Amino acid sequence: MATAALSRQAFPSELELQAFARAAARLLADQRMSAAGSRVVRRRAGSGIQHLDHRDYVHGDEVRHIDWRQTARRRRPIIRRFEAETVSEWIILLDASPSMTVANGAKWHAALRAAAAMSYALLQLGHGLGVLVFSDRVIAECTRARGQQHYADVVRTLRTVAPHPASSGSDLGGCAHRLHGAASVFAISDFLGDGEMRRDLTTLLQRCASLHALQVSDPAELELPGSGHVDLVDVETGARLSMHVDERAIADAVNRRADMTRRLRSFCVRTGIAFTDWNVGEPWQQTLIGHLSRARSMC
C-alpha cells in the first residue's frame, strides 16, 4: 500500500500505518458490539450462508434476502439474516462540514489521519470497507471493497475532498440510506450539530451492526478573537452574533462545549455506541487503540 502520493501533513506514513495495523489487529478481529443491556451471544448477523433469524425489511436491503414465505405469512416484507463470516463489513463516515475547518483546520487534518489509519488496518485484516464523506449531504463516496489495493482508492477519495464552505450544515443521518447490510459504522465528526447530532446517531444505529463515534475537538476553536465587542459568525449556518468578549465569556464558551460532550457521551453510553472524545493534540495512535479497546469490552 504505497503512500508516496499522500500529504505528509495530513496522512500517516507507511511505517505508522503498519505499526497501527499490528497493534489494532486483535481489537478489530470480527468485532461486533451489543446494545446496552442486551445479552451477548456468539452468533451474529452478517453476510455468511448459515441462516440466523428474520427481521422486517427496510429500505436499502437486498431483495435477494427477502423470505417470500415469511412475507406472505406475516403480510409484510421479511428479510433473512445470516451468521457473520470471520470478517465483517465497515463503513467510515467522515464529517466535512465547515466547523471542521476552524482553528486552521486541525480537526479536519486529524479526522483524515484517523480515517486513513482505520481504513488501512481494516483492509489489512481482510474486512470489507467503504467511506462516505458528508456535510449537508454526502459529497464523496468510496464504495465498499476488500483487499490491500483498495486502500489506494480510499486515499484518492480522501485527497479529493475538502470541508464545505460556510453556511452548510452537518447531516450525518443522511448517510443512513447508503448503509446496506450488516456493517459496522465508524463516524468521525465534531458533532457540532443540533442536539449533538444524537438524532442522526439514532438513525444510523437502526441501520448498522455496531456504531462508533469519534468526536474530534480542538481547544483552539474556543479561543475568541480580541476583547470587547466582536462580531462572530456561525460557520455552519452563517448566523451572526455580536457579543462582548471577556474572561467570563471565554469560560462560558468552554463550559458550554464541555456540556455538549457530556450530553453526547451520556447518550452513547445509554444506547450502546462506542464513544471517544479526541483532543486532536493527542496522538492519533493512542486515541484509536484506546477507543477500540473500550469498544471491544462492550462486546
Domains and CATH numbers, the chain: 14-31+86-297 (3.40.50.410), 47-83 (no CATH)
| pLDDT at position 21 | 94
CA 70 to CA 280: how far, in whole Å? 50
- The whole-number pLDDT of residue 225 equals 59
| Average pLDDT of span 23-50 | 54
pTM summary value: 0.75
The pLDDT value given to residue 224: 59
H helix runs in 59-187, sequence order: 68-74, 102-124, 150-160
Query: Could you tell me the CA-to-CA distances from 8 to 3, 106, 149, 218, 241 in Å, in that order?
Result: 9, 14, 20, 20, 37
Predicted pLDDT of residue 39 = 33
Whether the predicted pLDDT of 162 surpasses 60: yes
pLDDT for res 19 = 94
Joined together, the cell numbers standing for residue 281 give 493534540
User: Phi and psi for 168 in degrees, rounded to 5?
Assistant: -120, 135
27 vs 96: CA distance, rounded Å: 27
pLDDT of residue 213: 98
* Rounded-to-integer distance, Cα 155 and Cα 112, Å: 10
- The pLDDT of residue 237 is 55
Residue position matching grid coordinates 483552539? 220
- 106-154 pLDDT, tens digit each: 999 999 999 999 999 999 988 999 999 999 999 999 999 998 899 999 9
Question: Between these two residues, 207 and 230, which has the higher pLDDT value?
Answer: 207
Count CA atoms within 13 Å of residue 50 on its CB side.
8
As a whole number of angstroms, the distance between CA 186 and CA 209 comes to 11
Whole-number Cα distances in Å, 114 to 88, 162, 278, 281: 19, 16, 11, 13
Q: How confident is the model at residue 158 (pLDDT cuts 50, 70, 90)?
A: very high
Q: What does the pLDDT read at residue 5?
A: 40
Mean pLDDT of 96-109: 90
